Amino acid sequence: MHNSQEGRKLKVGVLGATGTVGQRFIALLSEHPYFVIHALGASQRSAGKPYSKAVTWKQTRPIPSAVREMPVHECKPEYFASCSVVFSGLDAEVAGDIESAFRAAELVVFSNAKNFRRDPNVPLIVPLVNTSHFSLIPQQRSLHSPPLKKGFIVTNANCSTTAVVVPLAALEKAFGPIESCMITTMQAISGAGYPGLPSLDILDNVVPYISGEEEKIEWETLKILGGVTETDEGLKAFDMHARHPFRISASCNRVAVVEGHTECVSLRFARRPPPSPQQVREALANYTSDAYALGCPSAPRHTIFVHEEPDRPQPRLDRDFQQGAGVCVGRVRQCRVLDIKFVVMANNVAIGAATSSIINAEFAVNKGLIT
Amino acid sequence: MHNSQEGRKLKVGVLGATGTVGQRFIALLSEHPYFVIHALGASQRSAGKPYSKAVTWKQTRPIPSAVREMPVHECKPEYFASCSVVFSGLDAEVAGDIESAFRAAELVVFSNAKNFRRDPNVPLIVPLVNTSHFSLIPQQRSLHSPPLKKGFIVTNANCSTTAVVVPLAALEKAFGPIESCMITTMQAISGAGYPGLPSLDILDNVVPYISGEEEKIEWETLKILGGVTETDEGLKAFDMHARHPFRISASCNRVAVVEGHTECVSLRFARRPPPSPQQVREALANYTSDAYALGCPSAPRHTIFVHEEPDRPQPRLDRDFQQGAGVCVGRVRQCRVLDIKFVVMANNVAIGAATSSIINAEFAVNKGLIT
Amino acid sequence: MHNSQEGRKLKVGVLGATGTVGQRFIALLSEHPYFVIHALGASQRSAGKPYSKAVTWKQTRPIPSAVREMPVHECKPEYFASCSVVFSGLDAEVAGDIESAFRAAELVVFSNAKNFRRDPNVPLIVPLVNTSHFSLIPQQRSLHSPPLKKGFIVTNANCSTTAVVVPLAALEKAFGPIESCMITTMQAISGAGYPGLPSLDILDNVVPYISGEEEKIEWETLKILGGVTETDEGLKAFDMHARHPFRISASCNRVAVVEGHTECVSLRFARRPPPSPQQVREALANYTSDAYALGCPSAPRHTIFVHEEPDRPQPRLDRDFQQGAGVCVGRVRQCRVLDIKFVVMANNVAIGAATSSIINAEFAVNKGLIT
Amino acid sequence: MHNSQEGRKLKVGVLGATGTVGQRFIALLSEHPYFVIHALGASQRSAGKPYSKAVTWKQTRPIPSAVREMPVHECKPEYFASCSVVFSGLDAEVAGDIESAFRAAELVVFSNAKNFRRDPNVPLIVPLVNTSHFSLIPQQRSLHSPPLKKGFIVTNANCSTTAVVVPLAALEKAFGPIESCMITTMQAISGAGYPGLPSLDILDNVVPYISGEEEKIEWETLKILGGVTETDEGLKAFDMHARHPFRISASCNRVAVVEGHTECVSLRFARRPPPSPQQVREALANYTSDAYALGCPSAPRHTIFVHEEPDRPQPRLDRDFQQGAGVCVGRVRQCRVLDIKFVVMANNVAIGAATSSIINAEFAVNKGLIT
């Protein structure tokens, strides 16, 4: 049995605590069954203030009382020494150095930042998909200089990637490799953080471009859906879906939605004939994440909720289902160009960000990776 | 030379004059160089009232003074007998019978309704693309019972079809047949008419479904981009792109935009190797419609305006360019699944509706089909 | 002690169960500590269907499982005979006759409809303000023909009225009569029901008019804030604030907000000198409703939450606080024309509609008016 | 006759040319009958670049071809020496020093910035209201050190002030002094410039606060509607409406509208009995600005357009009427607290900003103040 099941609480820290993702971490962690917020980190400008003075709180729930008066520290490992887990909502400009320093200080970091996603020793884990990639952690520790006993970094994926890899993983599990996939996203403004998108750019408008986003989807999907192989030198390595070539093409758009990314997906299976829409629907609905099976408390009961109504999922109506921890799929039907097409919607600030980090941490606790 | 060039004005009528498309017809025709609004038709409820009393005017320009006091008639041919052209913005529920009756009365009808789009003797014409389909008109007249001397019906396409067929036509002209095409639309609320979409359905939301829309795009595109062949019986027929199979898959979404449909398009050419993005950009920018070449006054100078900025076209910024009579393309780039992908944006109430009918009528006048 | 505190559940019915307010009733009642949904009523068109087939569910939570398969009945008293309370979310077109019939059948009706709000024997109760008006119930029963033993009707106020009377009541309690009050509302689209406002009317727009709304605010406020007097004939009557003349002027606007009415209020007290902004802030924050004091489970702990930040309350951030059961006030400051001005925001579908009816019913249970 | 009427063109410059107001100046001036853009000024960062490279153009019309390649200069008088008029769209942070320097160099500056609005020698002119305040210019020049021959500064008002002073001026002209006025605004996001308001703050929301805005309305209105008196020292001075005390109370809100400020206004006249709503309607409709009477080409024919429909004006439908150069009023009716209430809507980026400066300059040309 892992620690938490014995009723012991684990102290956790939050880096970038005043930012958009950091606020979401705090809102979620304040109600967590065994993680307890112990330390908050932000920029030098915020350091020394009580949290309620340092933050411009933009969540719909008030600031949790437990953190209102908690002091904000600079993001230095010494202030987080007693934290079993550190969640990072840092901006990419500073996340690289800070997260490195925390790992070097034997801290465990679950990061939303993109800096380490392409690191060959850092798992990029969508907790409803590829928790098997935790198997790289021992190697990450041993290759570190000096080798680490406890510290490691795990990243989670970009929010738009997260939405789509969940159904893709379910379908590969059921029907074998996918050969190609076209994704067109309609992404919420909260994906850009705060202040993020100027209102003049998006009210009564669509912006058919998000810098770097298409590349992230195309690359991250391969790392997440790929396996772990062994190199000639005896090292573990992410195979980037090398067992079967997988072509992905993404087109990313920003729309006037506060929360919830909607994505139109078409795909072609390697297997001929391909599964029918009904078989696809069933495979999606039956897919269960290992995280849920293992009892991670933040993992959703329905990894993928499959809508039957012709006009769902919709971000405003479906983004809060299961606290946004799962993904919703609808309109599963045949595609005249590839095989199957459908719509997927996921809450970009829940499963697309903070919730993913937290489930990853719960999984790591469960597997004994955190002590 | 045709009549208009001799300075003669042509009387025109508008059916469905109080509706969304009808209002747009009136706004455009009130500034037309040679069409003059002569008669207005609407439902029985409006008949007998002056136009300004019958309409709930929703355009940003005031009601043109020339029609304010013009009486609204029922949609019966007798009230339109002296009209050289009748524009129809009727709802599909009534358009079929009324437009039939007008044609039978030797009137010329340019219709936005969907009722006759699939009729094998009625051209479905996007004026920036396939004005060559006017060649079917003599057969439409001769096969009518009794045969007609002057009357005919021409339809224009659904607004979301119109946007995409313009660049597709330009590319087929330059590079030969397209083999497959994926289209994901983000459509404006004005495409649904008035009252149309309830505000509760679309504010802070995306609706990933528009009833019948995907089928329209997939079918209409083939009729428009196809040619005219001769059957064994010596009749002309639309070949539905039969010279080369063309697979089209559309996914339609409604977004919180007032005007302007944005569509993400990916396509594969038959020709190997395919053209480069730069060749595609040039072919699009150089494409000129026959309607413009012939001097139709409402045809835009730039059939396709190609944006170089990475984040354009955008509906709010680009929908009024050239009074919305052309289409805008941007983000031409390689696609990892098909060959090329790009974004197209077109004003759904201008080139996507009333403007198309008007250019079609200008073309017919120019070709002597209207007397 | 009342029944509920002995752990007994009370069966309740919902009229207009498929409409916007009805859906909200069902969502709230499905989690209620002692009300249990027992019967659902809707139009003839829905009758006979299971609820999940009859409704177009538009709430962000899924249909509660307890009502999914519950049959929908016509709104006839016989189907609701065993209900201790009937909540009505009926449209005004039908509410009058149906609610009358239910009362005549000795049923207790808590209604959101406007039909009986001006009835001199029907209390118009905002549960955070004037539960004292329940004192009219015995007279309502005795004057009914034939006299009733159990049946009665209580209405709650229009959503925009509800928001403003709560702080007004708090201020009159603390500082004596208000002499005049100017109210400018910015109301959410959900206040108009579904389909309600066409999206073309409100996207990128303000509509400075809501039919009948200003009159409702001006009249209902007087009934709610007024007292109960005795007439020469020995009858009880609402005094419409006659003890001190109170002039109210409202200007109502619709804005592009899904949920939450925001209202700018300025007022002048009879008392000279008037209270200071700080005194007003304290009086608002200290005000507690009798419903909360008595332990009504849906009454909010903070009847009025007073914001100190200069830019709050805001509908998107504050409408879900306390499940929308209270009201939020901010920007309390001096007014150069009257005495004091402030901003009030209330959730129009929670405290502005269904939640008010439910707290009213809880209060009536507590007072022994429901058996 | 003034110069322009002899067909001579006047060279003008634009300061802050790359900003929101500067772009609007350029769009308007590129179609002006006698002002010709000659020089552009922006920050050091833009200096030296052709305009099209320096600007992120956000207007719905393309960059006018005449300025595409025009070089952008730093905002130093030497580059604008041959300009008869300089329009300033500078930010307040830099406008003070730059505009001072331009005036000292004998240049004529029409400014949108707030820096000089409270200067006792600088007129604050809404061109549809108080062009009589140009009478202060000789004194502004003579009191300058050293005295000026040609240079001066004129400011125009804040956009939300401009909307309301036009009907207030019309009513004071017709019915004498107004004693008190309550104003609640619903302001468009474009009023905050670019990037301005973060989209997360305004989508599905109202922000009931705009920093400093209420004070601006309350103070500027008095300066604009006030007269010019002579002091004991023989100097001219703005009397701030001292001839009759005028109390103004404003409440400012930001709403999800791109362009067009809507304001609910209630007012009390000194005169008893007050005029009727119908008299008010007529006075508003009949009011004509001196600028229009004198033939200023950008002055609107209808200074105030009075709507009869109950639900107008609305920003989306009415902001482009007369290119946004006038104001629209509707819903004139009695107020139960003060005398009369109505709704006013004005285009904040047209008459509320650039258009006002341009009409002011046209007026000055007409009066011979510019040579």
- What is the reported pLDDT for D90? 97
- Does a structural domain hold residue D247? yes
Check if A159 is active-site. Answer: yes
Asked if the Cβ–Cβ distance from C315 to D247 is below 8 Å, we say no
- Give which of C187, C197, C199 to mutate to test B binding, by max B Cβ within 10 Å: C199
Asked if the Cβ–Cβ distance from C189 to B199 is below 8 Å, we say yes
CATH number, domain with residue A209: 3.30.360.10
Q: Check whether residue B335 and residue B311 sit in a common domain.
A: yes
Q: Quick check: C181 contacting D, CB < 8 Å?
A: yes
- Does a structural domain hold residue A371? no
Residue partners of C179: CB distance under 8 A and separation at least 6: C244, C245, C246, C247, C267, C268, C269, C270
Instruction: Report pLDDT digits (tens) over A315-355.
Output: 999 999 999 999 999 999 999 999 999 999 999 999 999 99
What is the residue-wise DSSP string for B148-213? -SS-EEEE---HHHHHHHHHHHHHHHHH--EEEEEEEEEE-GGGG-SS-SBHHHHTT--B---TTH
Nearest to A317 among C58, C316, C319 (CB): C58
Q: Quick check: B206 contacting C, CB < 8 Å?
A: no
CA distances from D324 to D222, D288, D346 (A): 24, 16, 7
Q: Check whether residue C236 and residue C332 sit in a common domain.
A: yes
Give the 3-state secondary structure of chain A: CCHHHHCCCEEEEEECCCCHHHHHHHHHHCCCCCEEEEEEEECCCCCCCEHHHHCCCCCCCCCCHHHHCCEEEECCHHHHCCCCEEEECCCHHHHHHHHHHHHHCCCEEEECCCCCCCCCCCCECCCCCCHHHHHHHHHHHHHCCCCCCCCEEEECCCHHHHHHHHHHHHHHHHHCCEEEEEEEEEECHHHHCCCCCEHHHHCCCCECCCCCHHHHHHHHHHHHHCCEEECCCCCEEECCCCCCCCEEEEEEEECCCCCCEEEEEEEEECCCCCCCHHHHHHHHHHCCCHHHHCCCCCCCCCCEEECCCCCCCCHHHHCCHHHHCCEEEEEEEECCCCCEEEEEEECCCHHHHHHHHHHHHHHHHHCCCCC
CA distances from C306 to B211, C258, C284, C313 (A): 47, 23, 7, 9
* Integer Cα distance of B326 and B305 in angstroms: 7
Residue partners of B11: CB distance under 8 A and separation at least 6: B36, B38, B39, B82, B83, B84
Query: How open is the CA angle C268-C270-C273, to the nearest 5 degrees?
Result: 85
Q: Quick check: B201 contacting D, CB < 8 Å?
A: no
Residue partners of B266: CB distance under 8 A and separation at least 6: A182, A249, A251, B181, B182, B335, B337, B338, B339, B340, B341
- What is the reported pLDDT for B233? 92
Q: Check whether residue C341 and residue C308 sit in a common domain.
A: yes
What is the residue-wise DSSP string for D133-164? GGGGHHHHHHHSSS--SS-EEEE---HHHHHH
Asked if the Cβ–Cβ distance from A257 to B257 is below 8 Å, we say no
- Does a structural domain hold residue C152? yes
- What is the reported pLDDT for C2? 47
Q: Quick check: A254 contacting B, CB < 8 Å?
A: no
CATH number, domain with residue A148: 3.40.50.720
Check if C159 is active-site. Answer: yes
- Chain C positions in Cβ-Cβ contact with residue B258 (cut-off 8 Å): 200, 203-204
Pairing of strands B85-88, B10-15: parallel
Q: Check whether residue A216 and residue A285 sit in a common domain.
A: yes
DSSP 8-state secondary structure symbol assigned to residue D50: B
Please give the structure tokens belonging to residue D200: 């997360």
Task: Using CA coordinates, name the residue in chain A closest to C309.
Answer: A56
Could you list the pLDDT tens digit for every one of the 371 residues in chain C?
A: 344 445 689 999 999 999 999 999 999 999 999 999 999 999 999 999 999 999 999 999 899 999 999 999 999 999 999 999 999 999 999 999 999 999 999 999 999 999 999 999 999 999 999 999 999 999 999 999 999 999 999 999 999 999 999 999 999 999 999 999 999 999 999 999 999 999 999 999 999 999 999 999 999 999 999 999 999 999 999 999 999 999 999 999 999 999 999 999 999 999 999 999 999 999 999 999 999 999 999 999 999 999 999 999 999 999 999 999 999 999 999 999 999 999 999 999 999 999 999 999 999 999 999 97
Nearest to B204 among D204, D258, D317 (CB): D204
Nearest to A198 among D198, D204, D256 (CB): D198
Q: Check whether residue D150 and residue D261 sit in a common domain.
A: no
- Chain A positions in Cβ-Cβ contact with residue B330 (cut-off 8 Å): 208
Question: What are the helix and strand counts (H, E) for chain C?
Answer: 12, 14
Q: Check whether residue B45 and residue B182 sit in a common domain.
A: no
Q: Is C68 helix (H, G, I), strand (E, B) or coil?
A: helix
* Integer Cα distance of A156 and A351 in angstroms: 10
- Chain C positions in Cβ-Cβ contact with residue A62 (cut-off 8 Å): 321
**Closest CA relative to residue D121, chosen from D243, D236, D241:** D236
Asked if the Cβ–Cβ distance from B203 to C258 is below 8 Å, we say yes
Question: Catalytic residue among A2, A32, A73, A261, which?
Answer: A261
Residues of chain B with pLDDT under 50: 1-5
What is the residue-wise DSSP string for C264-281? EEEEEESSSSPPPHHHHH
**Phi/psi of residue B80, nearest 5 degrees:** -120, 15
- What is the reported pLDDT for A1? 38
Q: Check whether residue B338 and residue B190 sit in a common domain.
A: yes
- What is the reported pLDDT for B356? 98
Identify the bridge partners of residue B238 per DSSP, sorted by sequence position: B228
Asked if the Cβ–Cβ distance from B317 to A204 is below 8 Å, we say no
Q: Would you call the peptide bond into A208 cis, given omega within 30 degrees of 0 as the criterion?
A: no
- Chain C positions in Cβ-Cβ contact with residue A188 (cut-off 8 Å): none
- Chain B positions in Cβ-Cβ contact with residue C200 (cut-off 8 Å): 58, 189-190, 194-197, 258
Please give the structure tokens belonging to residue B366: 């120019």
Cβ–Cβ < 8 Å for D291, D363: yes
* Integer Cα distance of A325 and A302 in angstroms: 9
Residues of chain D with pLDDT under 70: 1-7
Give the residue ranges of DSSP H helices in C176-256. Answer: 199-202, 213-225
Nearest-neighbour CA in chain A from D18: distance (Å): 16
- Does a structural domain hold residue C125? yes
Nearest to A321 among C62, C203, C320 (CB): C62
* Integer Cα distance of D123 and A166 in angstroms: 64
- Does a structural domain hold residue A215? yes
Interface contacts (B, D; CB < 8 Å): 27
Q: Quick check: C317 contacting B, CB < 8 Å?
A: no
Secondary element (H or E) of residue D100:
helix D92-104
Q: Check whether residue B196 and residue B342 sit in a common domain.
A: yes
**Closest CA relative to residue A318, chosen from A259, A256, A277:** A259
**Domain around A199:** 159-348
Q: Check whether residue C258 and residue C313 sit in a common domain.
A: yes
* Integer Cα distance of C168 and C149 in angstroms: 35
- What is the reported pLDDT for C6? 55
- Does a structural domain hold residue A12? yes
- What is the reported pLDDT for C8? 83
Number of domains present in the structure of chain D: 2
Is the predicted pLDDT of residue A4 greater than 70, yes or no?
Answer: no
Instruction: Report pLDDT digits (tens) over A42-101.
Output: 999 999 999 999 999 999 889 999 999 999 999 999 999 999 999 999 999 999 999 999
Q: Check whether residue C299 and residue C358 sit in a common domain.
A: no
CA distances from C42 to C39, D37, D103, D333 (A): 10, 67, 73, 40
Task: Determine the length of chain B.
Answer: 371
Q: Check whether residue D179 and residue D311 sit in a common domain.
A: yes
DSSP 8-state secondary structure symbol assigned to residue B63: P
Nearest-neighbour CA in chain D from C122: distance (Å): 26
Q: Quick check: A58 contacting D, CB < 8 Å?
A: yes
- Does a structural domain hold residue A181? yes
- Chain B positions in Cβ-Cβ contact with residue D58 (cut-off 8 Å): 317
- Does a structural domain hold residue B371? no
Q: Quick check: D337 contacting A, CB < 8 Å?
A: no
**Phi/psi of residue C153, nearest 5 degrees:** -125, 135
Q: Check whether residue A297 and residue A314 sit in a common domain.
A: yes
Q: Quick check: D258 contacting B, CB < 8 Å?
A: yes
- What is the reported pLDDT for B252? 98
